[in-house]
Amino acid sequence: MKTVTFGIFKIFLTTFLVASITFFLLHIIPGNPFSGNKALPPEIIANLEAKYHLNEPILTQYFLYLSELLKGNLGPSLKYTNRSVNEILLSALPVSFTLGILALMLAVPLGILTGIIAAVLSKKNIGNLLIILVTIGISLPNFLIGALLINILGLKLKLLPVALWESPYHMIMPVITLSFLPTAYISRIVRSQMLEQFSEEYIKTALAKGLPLKMIIFKHAFKNCLISFTTILGPIIAVLITGSFVVEYIFAIPGMGKYFITAFTNRDYFLITGTAIVFSFILTTTNVIIDSLYKKIDPRIS
């Protein structure tokens, strides 16, 4: 019970700190979303600043924002008129969530399988080839992978649509692009941990006893890699579920990435802070859940 209470406290404390830090960082920058708009008369700008309390002292703005935040209100969008941040994120988060879950479902099994094969066949050419591919996967940025897929599968071969989020076919390239880096990262971690386990005496003993290789790999070696694997899985899940801003922008997907980038461009304070709060909440919650799983995996951990 104490562990659960501490986990909930940790989630809300971290989210509060992220919200506060983001708020002050945005507001200490000179100017505001309306001050640079030369097309608007000074009277209109003054009215807009008064409407959103941007003419108030920063601490007054902060406590006003906190009072609304405690009610679950993330504030109005300064860019998308007549839409609140809650409405925008509620419409965008399911898209990012779907993209992230699909990428996760591809990255985890493929990364584990690739890592195990690369470890088992580490002294053969196929093992060396896999580790080269893994290194390339970690090195290449998402936007380059996305551009290559669009160019080859979309424009040249015309096998898949190059943008939007309208059918299962539209999901294939974004999911592959988003899963590429976590697949390579999971594969590298699994390979490293498996090689370490293969050097242990209990694995050598199991091999000497003639136990099936499949049993040795999955029942013994991989089981002892679960702590390291679970540790990296938390941040990976959080990042994938909230979606990759770059991937969503490249494929014109109406997820959180689209709004986050336009929010920064337009200095939409409330939308930027709201997105940071949601991302922080998901990341912290995932990490708390992962921490609670450590005891299940290894009872020796207190």
Hey, where are the domains in the chain? 85-297
Across the chain, mean pLDDT equals 83
Residue 189, pLDDT above cutoff 80: yes
Q: How far apart are CA 160 and CA 11, in angstroms?
A: 40
Q: DSSP letter string over 139-198?
A: HS-HHHHHHHHIIIIIIIS--S--S-SSSHHHHHHHHHHHHHHHHHHHHHHHHHHHHHHH
Is residue 38 scored above 70 in pLDDT? no
User: pLDDT for 5-15, tens place per residue?
Assistant: 777 888 889 99
66-121 pLDDT per residue, tens:
999 989 899 888 878 788 899 998 988 888 889 988 998 999 999 989 888 888 88
pLDDT > 90 in the chain, percent:
17
Residue 291 predicted with pLDDT over 80: no
CA-wise closest residue to 277 among 66, 27, 32: 66
Question: The whole model's pTM is what?
Answer: 0.81
Task: Quote the pLDDT of residue 301.
Answer: 57
Give residue 213's pLDDT band: very low, low, confident or very high (50, 70, 90): confident
Calpha distance 241→146 (Å, rounded): 18
- What does the alpha-carbon distance between residue 173 and residue 179 come to, in Å, rounded to a whole number? 10
The yes-or-no verdict on residue 302 having pLDDT over 60 is no
What pLDDT, on a 0 to 100 scale, did the predictor assign at position 176?
92
What's the pLDDT score for residue 199? Answer: 80
Q: Summarize pLDDT for 123-166 with one digit per residue, the tens.
A: 788 877 888 888 888 888 888 888 899 999 989 998 999 888 88
CATH superfamily of 85-297: MetI-like (1.10.3720.10)
CA distances from 152 to 149, 168, 259 (A): 5, 19, 28
